[in-house]
Structure 1
Amino acid sequence: MHATGETERGRPGANVVLAMLLLVYTFNFLDRQILGILAQPIKADLGLTDAQFGAVGGLAFALLYSVLGVPLAMLADRTSRSAVIAGSLAVWSGFTALCGVATGYWQLFLFRLGVGVGEAGGVAPSYALIADYFPPEKRARALAIYSLGVPVGLAGGTLLGAYIAALVDWRTAFIVMGVAGIILAPIFKSVVRDVPKAPAATAAAPVGQTFGILARKPAFWLMAVAAGCSSLCGYGLALWTPSVLMRSFGFDLITTGQFMGSILLVGGTAGVFAGGWFADRLGKTDRGWYAKLPTIAWAITVPTFAFGLLSPSPALAWPLLLIPNAMNILWLGPVTTAVQHLVPRHMRATASGSFLLINNLIGLGVGPLLMGTLSDMLKSTYGIESLRYAAVGCLAFYALAAVLMTFAIRPLRRDWVEDVA
């Protein structure tokens, strides 16, 4: 089941599956981050306020993305995880392309709603597939490698979006990204195969049964809300930091793309991989490390992000922002692995969907909109610097995430479900 080469019955090896899942996840965040780098031309073209753009970047995406994650995860548990992922990729890529033809606020809002519908079916089944293909002692590293799609996609979306928009226009950037994802969907489906379910787990458990198990475990609630608080800041900063750089440092589109892309790629990849590696290494003897590592990382994130965002010069801001862009994403490998071990194997995708529901309702639903709304409120006092101070104010949620995750350490040791052969 956990071989890394070519497996029986024509199924690809674990490393091939992981590479394909990483590619799809990269497209997931390419399509999300492209909106952030294109904020200024989109707002100018469609006449949007910061609050309206925050709603498009967060609330529009989160509404159905969060809610549909659980039923699509159940569908993946009951049918084919790889088929659900491929179909989701085709749907979100199609709506991404449609964003390029939007002519107003509500049209763009509805198209982003559609992107969220598609992406709802991508992540939870991917977590479950990785847990199927990799043994427990390698699982956090595998999930961390998969999670590299976040920084790689964020960096790629920033750079590609900036260059395409600068050379052509912002609409073309959306269309190019969307069409590329549509082409990838059938290729993914032809390569990736599900691991056959054990006879006792051929039928996925009802969502009520799965959520009933999770609801009785304090570790689940503490980790989900802590991750949500982190995502509130993370998604808000991903959407708005390009605009902060343009307003505060006078960057053009290309310079902003290069600055952000380099930070996200270098810092993000280092942080994600470090989280998975240390969790696998330290978690062998103490499962509490799957919660301890994010706690430490978020405690470092708050001051370093604040100093970076308030830096007077780009030369000082770059190294200061590099540190928190590694630390704020370190949690992905440890926490997503821990969620997989709160339930039996045949409930994993549904458990991940339940976790993502809470995480994304808080993170995506609140973060970008809150930051944009605060910026509008602070404009009379701080002018063009209002967005910078709105971003700094929201860093308090990283501190809250660290506190909540600290309380998750002890219950996680008790709630952990070991793999059964």
Structure 2
Amino acid sequence: MLLAYVFNFLDRQLIAILKIPIKAELGLTDTQLGLMGGIAFASVYSTLAIPLARLADRSGRVRVVAAAVTMWSLFTALSGLGQNFWQLFLLRMGVGVGEAGGVAPSYALISDGVPPERRARALAIFSLGIPIGSALGLFFGAWLATSLDWRYAFAIIGLAGLPVAWAIRHFVHDEPPTSKATASASFGAVATKLAAKPSFWLLSFGAASASICGYGLGYWLPSYFVADLDLSLTRMGVYFGSIVLVGGMVGIWLGGLAADRLRGRSPGADAAVPAIAFLLAAPLYYAAMSTRSLTLAWPLFALPYMLSLVWLGPITSAVQRLVPSSDRATASACFLLINNLIGIGFGTFIFGFLSDRMKADYGAASLRYAMLYGLGFYVIAGLLCAFAAIRLKRDVIDC
């Protein structure tokens, strides 16, 4: 499941680096690039996650995940055929359709096999697919685009995911739906349960606010490193990729570990740990973008990147604890609907839109200022998670 998540983010992050040669060849604006990397993906990824999660809860989670990996891999490969903005927009929608079936059923599979006291760490291990996949997307995307062409990069990396789909279908085992002790409730019943719990809304919108920054910065920082720090495409892939890999893996693992260790003393730890991390990430990112020294910038970017991903194990674990086991994929999909529709859909777009609008005042530095203004979303995320920590102990169920 971790390997599938690696390819999930490898294919997703690939566009962040390939948009640089795509922009040069096709003459796209930052707003168009933001739409292509955000709304095109998030509009279908977020909405289709719910019906696919329902299908997974009822007919088997493994088969849904395997089919999802197959579909997003094929559409990533086909993205190399795009000739203009609208063709690439539609192909990225196809990637979103595939990835919609991957994450929520995976959360449920893992949660069913791990006791609550270790669940945040287990989901953190799964979430290591984010920095590993993102880093590989930066490494190989830059190398293939420079050595061959951005079209070949899409094709090669996309097709590489197909053996993973085959392996999941044949080697990952799921409990047959007919043997589950508790039948999956209707979507309306699950949604009603979640809607009645304030912690669900606070966690969802807190994560979504952080994801606006996370996806926005992840998508636009490659352009910043090339334009403002004068890195070549291949050097940037190694430089930023190493930040993502090291910072992301450390942050995700420490977040899961801290939440599991502190939960016995503080039932709201799953929300309190991310709250502190988000509030620290904003000023540290500001400091990172205030230096032009490559040596100093690396640790300054790695530390807030680490903090920005602390939430993955704790918050996804908390959502699993709000519903019975049979409804976990559906509950995860409801959470992901809010998080991804707002985070992916608007994060990349807002930064690109602000960059285009601020060019008259800031010129070539407009992208940097757009990202600096966007850091306020980390502050909002921290405050929402702090309120969630207060409420969480009343809303969770022990399962």
- The TM-score bracket by the shorter chain reads over 0.9
1:221 and 2:201 aligned: yes
1:275 and 2:255 aligned: yes
1:140 and 2:112 aligned: no
1:286-306 deviation digits (Å, cap 9, x = unpaired): 221111000010011000011
Which amino acid is 1:60 matched to?
Answer: A
1:123-170 deviation digits (Å, cap 9, x = unpaired): 000000001111111111100000000011111100010111111011
1:5-53 deviation digits (Å, cap 9, x = unpaired): xxxxxxxxxxxxxxxx000000000001111111210111111000000
Which of 94, 99, 108 is the matching residue for 1:114?
94
Which amino acid is 1:401 matched to?
Answer: A
1:249 and 2:229 aligned: yes
Partners of 2:238 and 2:53 lie apart in 1 by: 36
The farther-off stretch of 281-290 and 155-164 is 281-290
Count of equivalent residues:
399
1:368-402 deviation digits (Å, cap 9, x = unpaired): 00000000011112222111110111000000000
Which of 66, 79, 83 is the matching residue for 1:99?
79
Which of 135, 158, 164 is the matching residue for 1:155?
135
Where in structure 2 are the equivalents of 1:21-420 lying within 5 Å?
21-196=1-176, 201=181, 203-419=183-399
Change (3 A) 1:201 1:331: same
1:42-94 deviation digits (Å, cap 9, x = unpaired): 11111100000000001100001010011111100001101000000000111
Which amino acid is 1:206 matched to?
Answer: S
Partners of 1:200 and 1:83 lie apart in 2 by: 17
Contact 2:60 2:177 in 1 (8 A): no
Contact 1:63 1:361 in 2 (8 A): yes
% identical aligned pairs: 51
Which amino acid is 2:223 matched to?
Answer: S
Question: How far did residue 200 of structure 1 move?
Answer: 6.3
The farther-off stretch of 363-372 and 378-387 is 378-387
Question: How far did residue 310 of structure 1 move?
Answer: 2.3
Partners of 1:97 and 1:52 lie apart in 2 by: 21
Question: What is the TM-score with the length of structure 1 in the denominator?
Answer: 0.93
Partners of 1:125 and 1:178 lie apart in 2 by: 22
Contact 1:132 1:195 in 2 (8 A): no
Change (3 A) 1:200 1:318: closer
SS at match of 2:358: helix
The farther-off stretch of 289-298 and 177-186 is 177-186
1:326-353 deviation digits (Å, cap 9, x = unpaired): 0000000000000000001100000000
SS at match of 1:38: helix
Partners of 1:72 and 1:152 lie apart in 2 by: 25
Question: What is the TM-score with the length of structure 2 in the denominator?
Answer: 0.98
Partners of 2:292 and 2:10 lie apart in 1 by: 29
Contact 2:256 2:314 in 1 (8 A): yes
When the two chains are superposed, the root-mean-square deviation of aligned CA atoms in Å is 1.1
Contact 1:26 1:152 in 2 (8 A): yes
SS at match of 1:100: helix
